[in-house]
Amino acid sequence: MVVADWFGEMAERYRLVRDFNKAAKNSFIAGIAPTLLEAKITKGDSAYRHAFSKWMSAGFRIKALSGRPLEKSELIEIGRVVLDNEELTRKLISLGWDTLEVHSNEGYNGAKWALKDYANIGGFLN
Amino acid sequence: MTQILLQIKSDSLAMATTSSSNGLLSSTWFWLSIVEFIFIIFLLIKLKKKKTELAFSDLPKDKMKTAKSSNIDMDNLMNSINGSRDLYKELSKACHPDKFVNTEKQKIAEDIFQDISKDKRNFEKLLVLKERAKNELNINF
């Protein structure tokens, strides 16, 4: 990979996380969302690796920061919304993420998915 | 004079011993570096082989590039996270084909209901379908 490509990819990764956090903050301030969500990059699960996985930064974690605590079904629903968004799932995979994690703001409640299992949508694998 | 000569001889002997031990040392380091190099090559080959066995290893690069450069509507994503569930429930209840059995709108209702089920977690698309239901099925929400 060319060095410029590598830097471009890293910038795109951080831009995606920043855009998510900005939209989540606006949504919380406007009163649309009862809980403030925050996305961050984590280690990910090595069992979910694919050919484009980034080393030690392959996890995309969505964490509830404040507001009303989220129930398990709500955590799963957030994950399903992200996974149902074909474009976003493909973008996450191509930018080196392999694990999607959704965590509650209290305790160790959370759910995680292997992004590769949801990539055969929209002709990504054709 | 003899003493000086003896001193020089003993110095040169000491030098020779040191240089020979230095040669041995450098030779050890040389072989060690060779072994390390072979080990690194082995690891690289193993890594490459593993990568080709992983998912998406045969995916063409142009598909990856288009996926990377796509723009994501984050506002729609947030609305989908927070509002799509309720909107889906409302729409699926109002547009259920069973409500239009044996009427001319049954086919339209079936189409709309299929689309609602397909895009149940996409707020923007559900709003479009709501408008369609209003216009084509005359439903008042």
Number of domains in chain B: 2
Residues B52 and B99 in one domain: no
Give the residue from B65, B92, B117 where a domain finishes. Answer: B65
Residues B61 and B94 in one domain: no
The string of pLDDT tens digits covering residues B10-55 is 555 555 555 555 666 678 888 999 999 999 999 998 877 776 778 8
Quote the pLDDT of residue A39: 96
Quote the pLDDT of residue A126: 45
Residues B77 and B133 in one domain: yes
Residues B56 and B84 in one domain: no
Contact A33, B78 (CB under 8 A): yes
| Subunit contact B78:A125, Cβ cutoff 8 A | no
Q: How far is B75 from chain A (nearest CA, A)?
A: 6
Q: Cα separation of A118 and A86, whole Å?
A: 8
Phi and psi for A45 in degrees, rounded to 5? Answer: -105, 125
pLDDT at B4 over 90: no
Tens-level pLDDT at each residue, chain A (126 residues): 578 888 888 999 999 999 999 999 999 999 999 899 999 999 999 999 998 899 889 999 999 987 777 888 999 999 999 999 988 999 999 999 999 999 998 778 899 999 999 887 545 554
Q: Which helix (H) or strand (E) holds A61?
A: strand A59-67
The string of pLDDT tens digits covering residues B87-111 is 999 999 999 999 998 888 899 999 9
Residues B43 and B95 in one domain: no
The string of pLDDT tens digits covering residues B126-138 is 999 999 999 999 8
Residues B75 and B133 in one domain: yes
Give the residue from B36, B65, B94 where a domain finishes. Answer: B65
| Nearest CA-CA partner of B134 in B97, B109, B115 | B109
Give bridge partners of residue A59 from the DSSP assignment: A42, A99
Residues B80 and B109 in one domain: yes
Quote the pLDDT of residue B7: 64
Give the residue from B34, B65, B96 where a domain finishes. Answer: B65
Residues B84 and B50 in one domain: no
Residues B48 and B81 in one domain: no
Residues B44 and B98 in one domain: no
- Which candidate in A94, A124, A125, A126 is best for mutational testing of the B interface (most B CBs within 10 A)? A94
Tell me which residue range forms the domain holding B81. 71-137
**Lookup: tokens for A6:** 């590598």
Its pTM stands at 0.79
Residues B75 and B131 in one domain: yes
| Subunit contact B122:A84, Cβ cutoff 8 A | yes
Please state the ipTM of this predicted complex: 0.90
Which among B59, B68, B81 has the least Cβ separation from residue A78?
B81
Which among A51, A77, A90 has the least Cβ separation from residue B51?
A51
Q: How far is A90 from chain B (nearest CA, A)?
A: 6
